[in-house]
Amino acid sequence: MSEVSAEQRQNDPVDEAGVIQYLRNNPEVLLKYPDIFCELAIPHQTGAATSLVERQLKLLREENQSLKAKIEELVGIARENEELNQRFHRLALELMNTDQLHDVLAMVQDQVQTFFYTDFVCFRFLPNVSAESNILDGLYLDQKSGIVDSVKPWIEARKPVCGRQDEKINRELFGADIRIGSSALIPLYHTGDLGLLCLGSVSADRFGLTMGTIFLQQLGELVSNRLKNLLQVA
pTM summary value: 0.68
CB 129 within 8 A of CB 231: yes
Q: Which tens digit of pLDDT belongs to each residue from 164-195?
A: 999 999 999 999 899 999 999 999 998 899 99
Q: Where are the domains of the chain?
A: 34-97, 100-233
- What would the DSSP string read from start to end of 125-154? E-TTEE-SSSTTTT-B--GGGTHHHHHHHH
DSSP 12: S
100-233 belongs to CATH 3.30.450.40: yes
Q: What is the 3-state secondary structure (H, E, C) of 177-199?
A: CCCCCEEEEEEEECCCEEEEEEE
* Distance between CA atoms of residues 164 and 151, nearest Å: 14
Q: Which tens digit of pLDDT belongs to each residue from 86-134?
A: 888 888 888 888 889 999 999 999 999 988 889 999 999 999 999 988 8
- What would the DSSP string read from start to end of 65-99? HHHHHHHHHHHHHHHHHHHHHHHHHHHHHHHHT--
